[in-house]
Structure 1
Amino acid sequence: MMVSKSHITVQMTKNTCTLLLFVFVAVNPIFAQRNKGNVQQSLDWAASIVIDGKLDEWGDTLTYEHTTQKFRYHIKNDTENLYIAMRVLDKDRQMQIFAQGLACMVNIKGKKREGPTVYFPVADRLAFRSIMSADNDNRPDDMRKGALEAIRAIYVMRFEDILDGQISLENTYGVQAQATLDTADALCVEMAIPLNRLGVSVGDTGELAFNIKINGVIIPGSGSSASTMRRGYGYPYGYGYPYGYGQPTPSKPREEPGVWVVAPLAKE
């Protein structure tokens, strides 16, 4: 069968374009990193971020996604703080968050191991019951709004100069966190952690390991539980635990791993 010259020319053009695209990706590490699935590969520089639970400075949908736990996220930094934004649309996951919190952990040695961790938001159980009480004339129709009203603290662990446990939303450590429900009914959370509380600075060149996830273990001292928060919603047994009704409680509950980002701090 005879092949026309025009057909050969078109095929050669396609092959050339494919080759050029391959070469561009191979020699451009930034392009390659940012298109490795939908997981963040490097931190971005933060500009004028206000911790108010609104994602106006981030873009409404955020850039990256952790599909296992059904949330979107983005991590940035400036000279003073590490910033984390998360957005959760799934209602079941939202209730899990109000019971057990989102967790942001940083290992300053760049290892996928434990490090300083911030948990937020976790609704205070007693405050939540009071807000949702039938005797409360201002009781919100939406349980999630009641949970937002019942947030009283930020929980921290493994910081060098902060005792493990709860700290005030208006604390002297510089740790900030806020949560809101946006117009699309998604739960939006922003956190800021001072770099000096982590023992790092923007001039450091080494990699850090960041882990963010929906927490799957009850935080000691929080007074909240997954079953308490989901009561009346007909949800099954606690998230993150590999047992059900009629089965023995294991000595150590299974934790969902979350998403890891291993990268140095961004430079301006």
Structure 2
Amino acid sequence: MVLAYMKDKVVIITGSTSGIGLGIAKKFASSGAKIVINGFAELKQVNEITQELKSLGANEVLFDGANLSKPEEIDSMFKNVINQFQAVDILVNNAGIQFVSPIEDFPPEKWEAIMRVDLIASFYTIKNAIPHMKKKKWGRIINIASAHALVASPFKSAYVAAKHGMLGLTKTVALEVAKDSITVNAICPGYVKTPLVLGQVADTAKARGMSEEEVIDKIILGAQATKKFVEIEEVASLAYYLCSKEAASITGTSLSMDGGWTSQ
């Protein structure tokens, strides 16, 4: 599916220098959108990503390395985007960090950092994006949540709390902007094979006293009936579909893509 009208759209994707975010950026680039990538990356990596997105068809590519734990840097990122493109059409809140620990040992600074990046940052990005979408009477906000927005797992108190909060934020904002032809949805993937997930394996193994192989088999893929990782391209395609005309009435909801995890 190629959305012809995407060529004129400005798409901001947080946490898009790797993993799911980069996959989403590639998907939108294929329709000639103007892509704003964000994340921590060296100049060489940024240049490589920029060239790849342009080779896929991106109209223009802008990189902004805003630290999403700092509201002032988020505000500055949006100012840069408006100065460059004069619009914000699609916002994908994808950035996230993780830390695994029993609650009594959970470092407070880690807990608060996860809340700032995984939840609070989305408040600021949405707050910045909505006025520009309202001016055009069109917009799409896609929050990459998690199956952990719907169910919990031990030792992930901050992440689960943040993702549950993101789902509440999704529903509330969707109701506020529904009459402005702006949709707001959350995609809730199961385990996707990304650097973030692979980083959890060692932490979870330590927390549970298991081997990394046991964690993958019994903890990670054990929850997914398919016994397969969700593919990045699957998440990217769903995000892309939510920006189509056919998805105009889908708003304020969570879409599970978890291999059957939350059906149990």
More relative contact order, 1 or 2 (CA 8 Å, 6+ apart): 1
Structure with a larger share of its residues in strand = 1
Structure with a larger share of its residues in helix = 2
| Same-fold call, TM cutoff 0.5 | no
Please give the TM-score of this superposition, normalised by the length of structure 1.
Answer: 0.27
